[in-house]
């Protein structure tokens, strides 16, 4: 342990506790640290309370100052009179036009102040200068008409949600779903035998799509909760109930698979009570309908339950106002471009409408006519008789793919012609002109930039406060110890103190490019990746987006030695060849849990091999002998193998009273007088080691082991 002599190093200084050093006395490293800690504690006790900083602005009232300082109005009035003796202030509504008066008063009260812009004026200025497109005011009740209900089907994976939808609209979507599970929000309009129309949303039940289910719950009027009678309430079922409660949306429970011999309808209804979902038979208001989606049993009863609840809710909408809606999903479709599935919440969507969603916009029809005329101009005149809108991919489409002239309330439609991919959940609003749209997008981008600047400024201020606190702490420590002693302590106890440096990740890492078929799928994957907290391998997302894998994605992945994960999107042969030439791996997956399996495998492959040990056999020393070999003394251990096999080519450890006294190879391994390579269990043998200084003792344990390398396992799973 390193020692130093205070008298020799700094003869004129005092010790850390303030007393004169004893001649010839030395202090250890630990003693100096203890003295430093004592000095820091003394400073902490004397440390003054942090001064509160008050934000002030021109024309601030006395009441506002009182609120900011958590004091009474009378207290502030008294302080104003003391600090500004030549002025008189009366009442809490008095406005103070001079900021210096406020500063002087706060200083008198023991506060610090900082001048900011008047928040009310800033808000008013933003509202006054706003170029955004806003939703319309509530409509006149006289224009409201009854609209179809929007019904979301929710529940656990593999409980029959999509099978139910197939039965209701006589389709077979289940056969088209990869892995047999729904991985998108599907939107369909179904006309019942009674003549009523219902718009359905089918949400995924897999654990990875939690945000999709939450979004579906916020867009809907009624939720049909599908619960398998043979499986009961599962984690995603409970989560769906919580989403329904958060969105304040009424539930109808469809107890599916009632025809299975293991079905327990009554038991399932009892389970609902645990989560405050009370069926009608127990005195509640939740309709429970036992069904068999596969055989079509009781589907008519389920439809009637939906229509009855919709009539009780008296769902109405405005069909004549400007169009308002909500984006469900967006994706890239060959021949159509960027497509967004939209639920119409207000107005009637027609060709010619201009729409904005987030920072993206769509020209539903206007440009498509121009482009169509250009195409027609190259052909015969007779082709002008056809509908020019059908010559392009732009327009409005139903869930069955047919082109529509208009879309009414609660209709789920596909809108094409978007300049950028609108995000799932974005509000869709109608604009009057392209100029208005561009101004609104510029305004929204400027607000985003301001929010980012505010966030960055908060981080800067936090870092600055930490730096100031550390500086003040060191300053007080130096004042307490004295400059010479403080410098001595820093050199001795903190010799490696250096300037702050940026920390770089030096371990294994994986960079990925993520491409998906729809915005909702990308969102679900990114939300799951947010849970990645492993420290043994860093994960970086270079780029993510909707659409096919492009050449630029290959180049980006190569630049960062990364890999590409393509979810439910095609990869062209040209891109595949480019990836092969650049040694970039493309993972193509159609099922979300397979994508994460491949991701975990790729991360695990980046981890270095881990050194492992395998115990081959153990032996116990029965006696020890001293012999002469080539006129050199040698110690021999007489042993019995108690388990496994001793092999001469491997390494050996000698353990005595739980302490290792030797680790290395052996020189000799004999059975009777013969030199052997292997000794089996329950066999006696003699062995010697190269270190003759070690004396074998009865009871020593000899362990034979081998070293090998093994792949590491990633300490993270996606949770499903």
Torsion angle of the four alpha carbons 644, 650, 654, 660, in this order, in degrees rounded to the nearest 10 = -120
Confidence (pLDDT) at 482: 66
To 10 degrees, what angle do helices 161-169 and 299-313 make? 90
Cα angle 57, 62, 65 (rounded to 5 degrees) comes to: 55
Distance CA 480, CA 43 (A): 8
Residue 693 pLDDT exceeds 60: yes
To 10 degrees, what angle do helices 235-247 and 210-218 make? 30
Q: Which residues pair with 636 in a beta bridge?
A: 625
Confidence (pLDDT) at 371: 45
Confidence (pLDDT) at 719: 62
What does the pLDDT average to over 208-218? 50
Distance CA 334, CA 328 (A): 19
Torsion angle of the four alpha carbons 550, 555, 558, 559, in this order, in degrees rounded to the nearest 10 = -140
Q: Which residues pair with 256 in a beta bridge?
A: 228
Residue 493 pLDDT exceeds 60: no
Confidence (pLDDT) at 162: 75
Residue 671 pLDDT exceeds 50: yes
pLDDT digits (tens, 9 = 90+) for 116-171: 766 765 554 455 567 888 888 888 888 999 999 988 888 877 777 778 877 876 64
Confidence (pLDDT) at 62: 87
pLDDT digits (tens, 9 = 90+) for 563-608: 999 988 888 899 999 999 999 999 988 777 788 888 988 888 888 8
What does the pLDDT average to over 678-696? 91
Phi, psi angle pair for 260, to nearest 5°: -75, 145
Contact at 8 Å (CB) between 240 and 155? yes
Confidence (pLDDT) at 207: 40
* Helical spans, DSSP H, in 130-172: 161-169
Cβ neighbours of residue 531 closer than 8 Å, sequence gap 6 or more = 716, 718, 719
3-state secondary structure 547-595: CCCCHHHHHHHHHCCCEEEEECCCCCHHHHHHHHHCCCCEEEECCHHHH
To 10 degrees, what angle do helices 483-493 and 29-46 make? 130
Using a pLDDT cut of 70, give the percent of the chain over it.
Answer: 77
CA distances from 290 to 271, 544, 690 (A): 15, 43, 80
Most confident of 92-96, 176-180, 273-277: 273-277
Distance CA 373, CA 387 (A): 11
Instruction: Evaluate the CA torsion angle 101, 105, 106, 107 in order and state its sign.
Output: positive
Closest of 511, 605, 508 to residue 553, by C-alpha: 511
pLDDT band of 700, cuts 50, 70, 90: very high
Cα angle 699, 704, 706 (rounded to 5 degrees) comes to: 155
Enclosing H/E stretch for 151: strand 150-155
Q: What is the pTM of this model?
A: 0.58
**Residues counted in the chain:** 720
Confidence (pLDDT) at 96: 84
Closest of 428, 431, 228, 402 to residue 345, by C-alpha: 428
Contact at 8 Å (CB) between 397 and 492? no
Using a pLDDT cut of 90, give the percent of the chain over it.
Answer: 18
Confidence (pLDDT) at 123: 54
What does the pLDDT average to over 283-311? 89
Residue 703 pLDDT exceeds 90: yes
Distance CA 290, CA 274 (A): 19
pLDDT digits (tens, 9 = 90+) for 396-433: 888 777 888 888 998 888 888 888 888 878 889 999 98
Phi, psi angle pair for 205, to nearest 5°: -100, -5
Contact at 8 Å (CB) between 416 and 393? yes
């Amino acid at each position: 342990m390193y020692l130093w002599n205070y008298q020799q190093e700094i003869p004129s200084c005092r010790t850390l506790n303030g007393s004169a050093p004893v001649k010839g006395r030395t202090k250890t490293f630990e003693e100096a640290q203890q003295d430093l800690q004592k000095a820091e504690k003394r400073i902490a006790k004397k440390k003054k309370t942090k001064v509160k900083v008050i934000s002030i602005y021109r024309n601030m009232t006395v009441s506002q100052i009182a609120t900011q300082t958590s004091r009474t109005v009378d207290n502030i009035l008294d302080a104003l009179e003391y600090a500004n003796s030549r002025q008189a202030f009366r009442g809490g509504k008095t406005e103070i036009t001079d900021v210096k008066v406020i500063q002087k008063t706060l200083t008198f009260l023991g506060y610090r102040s900082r001048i900011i812009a008047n928040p009310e004026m800033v808000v008013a200025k933003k509202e006054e200068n706003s170029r955004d497109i806003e939703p319309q005011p509530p409509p006149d009740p006289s224009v409201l008409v009854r609209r179809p209900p929007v019904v979301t089907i929710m529940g656990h994976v593999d409980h029959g949600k999509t099978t139910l939808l197939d039965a209701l609209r006589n389709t077979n979507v289940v056969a088209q779903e990869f892995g047999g599970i729904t991985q998108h929000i599907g939107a369909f309009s179904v006309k019942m035998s009674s003549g009523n129309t219902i718009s359905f949303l089918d949400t995924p039940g897999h654990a990875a799509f939690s945000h999709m289910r939450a979004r579906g719950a916020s867009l809907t009027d009624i939720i049909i909760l599908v619960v398998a009678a043979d499986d009961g309430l599962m984690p995603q079922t409970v989560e769906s109930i919580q989403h329904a409660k958060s969105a304040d949306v009424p539930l109808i429970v469809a107890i599916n698979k009632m025809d299975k011999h293991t079905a327990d309808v009554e038991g399932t209804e009892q389970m609902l009570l645990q989560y405050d979902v009370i069926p009608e038979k127990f005195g509640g208001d939740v309709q429970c309908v036992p069904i068999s989606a596969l055989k079509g049993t009781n589907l008519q009863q389920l439809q009637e339950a939906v229509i009855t609840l919709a009539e009780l809710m008296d769902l109405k909408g405005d069909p004549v106002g400007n169009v308002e809606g909500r984006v469900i999903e967006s994706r890239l479709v060959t021949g159509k471009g960027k497509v967004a599935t939209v639920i119409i919440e207000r107005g009637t969507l027609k060709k010619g409408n201009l729409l904005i969603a987030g920072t993206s916009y769509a020209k539903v029809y206007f440009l498509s006519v121009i482009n169509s005329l250009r195409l027609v101009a190259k052909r015969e005149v007779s082709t002008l008789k056809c509908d020019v809108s059908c010559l392009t991919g732009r327009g409005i489409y139903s869930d069955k793919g047919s082109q529509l002239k208009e879309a009414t309330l609660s209709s789920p439609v596909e809108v094409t012609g978007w300049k950028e991919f609108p995000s799932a959940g974005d509000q869709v609003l109608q604009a009057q002109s392209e100029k208005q749209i561009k101004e609104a997008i510029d305004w929204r981008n400027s607000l985003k930039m301001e929010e980012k600047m505010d966030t960055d400024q908060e981080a800067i201020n936090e870092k600055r406060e930490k730096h100031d606190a550390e500086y003040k702490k060191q300053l007080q420590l130096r004042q307490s110890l004295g400059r010479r002693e403080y410098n001595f302590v820093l050199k001795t106890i903190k010799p490696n103190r250096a300037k702050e440096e940026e920390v770089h990740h030096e371990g294994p890492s994986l960079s990925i490019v993520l491409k998906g078929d729809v915005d909702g799928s990308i969102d679900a994957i990114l939300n799951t990746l947010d849970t990645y907290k492993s420290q043994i391998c860093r994960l970086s997302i270079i780029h993510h987006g909707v659409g096919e894998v492009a050449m630029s994605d290959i180049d980006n992945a190569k630049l960062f030695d990364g890999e590409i994960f393509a979810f439910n999107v095609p990869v062209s042969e040209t891109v595949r060849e480019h990836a092969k030439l650049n040694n970039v791996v493309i993972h193509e997956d159609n099922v979300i849990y397979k994508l994460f399996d491949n991701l975990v495998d790729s991360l695990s492959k980046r981890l270095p091999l881990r050194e492992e040990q395998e115990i081959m056999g153990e032996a116990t020393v029965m006696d020890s002998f001293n012999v002469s070999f080539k006129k050199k003394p040698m110690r021999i251990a007489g042993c019995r193998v108690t388990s496994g096999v001793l092999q001469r080519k491997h390494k050996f450890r000698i353990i005595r009273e739980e302490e290792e006294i030797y680790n290395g190879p052996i020189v000799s391994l004999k059975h009777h007088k013969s030199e052997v390579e292997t000794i089996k269990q329950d066999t006696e043998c003699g062995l010697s080691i190269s270190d003759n200084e070690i004396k074998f003792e009865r009871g020593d344990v000899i362990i034979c082991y081998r070293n090998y390398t093994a792949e590491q396992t990633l300490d993270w799973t996606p949770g499903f």
